[in-house]
Chain A
């Protein structure tokens, strides 16, 4: 069975500092990996995904994520945090394979950017 772990319930970072939100995964095959962001009282919005290719993936709003197969990690990063980045972030994984593949979401990490 596939699984995703987001070890930190909350991450606090000062505005202008780099941020990292951690994610590790477990799948039987090769993974599809996603990051989504949720602002208060809103649905999830797609940030970026890793399917194959370069281990560093760039996404929306200046976010990027690094795929590390040996550590089974897919950490979300941004060089300089903004107050407007404060939100709930979800990592998700899907196994390769034919047909419909269910997505497993992590429990979410609340990012608080302090002015």
Chain B
């Protein structure tokens, strides 16, 4: 199994540009989430989804958009990139219930 796959691994954007971070999982997990990891702040939840067609906001949703049209895919869209969005982004998925999350390898995004 591939698990959780994120693309791209690295990206540099100019302020104001938009882009989509891709996330796909092949484990048929109901729940998917996007986190950002910043030094000294741990992981913060951006958006999450409990199933196809259902999404909700996390702690830091501003400037990001998500959709979930299929169980497998959960893309994260940056609408107008800002330097404050420079971070490492992780996608995670898990089954419903008392379960642990599986993480992708991350996307390192730099906004200049």
Contact = CB atoms under 8 A, between A and B. Distances in A.
Contacts, number: 49
A90 B43 contact: yes
Contacts of B56: 100
A44 B41 contact: no
Interface in B98-112: 98, 100-106
B91 to A, nearest CB: 8
Nearest to A46: B100
B53 to A, nearest CB: 14
Nearest to B105: A43
Interface string A41-78: 11111100101000000000000000000000000000
Interface range on chain A (Cβ under 8 Å from partner): 20 to 34
A102 B45 contact: yes
In terms of DSSP, what is the predominant structure of the interface of chain B? strand
Contact of A107 (B42, B48, B50, B101): B42
Contacts of A100: 31, 48, 50, 56
A90 B103 CA distance: 13
B50 A44 contact: no
Interface of B: 4, 31, 35, 40-45, 48, 50, 56, 58, 90, 92, 98, 100-106
Interface of A: 4, 9, 32, 34, 36, 41-46, 49, 51, 90, 99-100, 102-103, 105-108
20 contacts: A4-B42, A34-B100, A43-B90, A44-B101, A44-B103, A45-B103, A46-B100, A49-B100, A90-B43, A100-B31, A100-B50, A100-B56, A102-B45, A102-B48, A102-B58, A105-B35, A105-B42, A105-B43, A106-B42, A107-B41
Given A90-B42, A107-B42, 14 more contacts: A4-B42, A9-B40, A34-B100, A42-B106, A43-B4, A43-B104, A44-B90, A44-B103, A99-B50, A102-B58, A105-B35, A105-B43, A105-B44, A107-B40
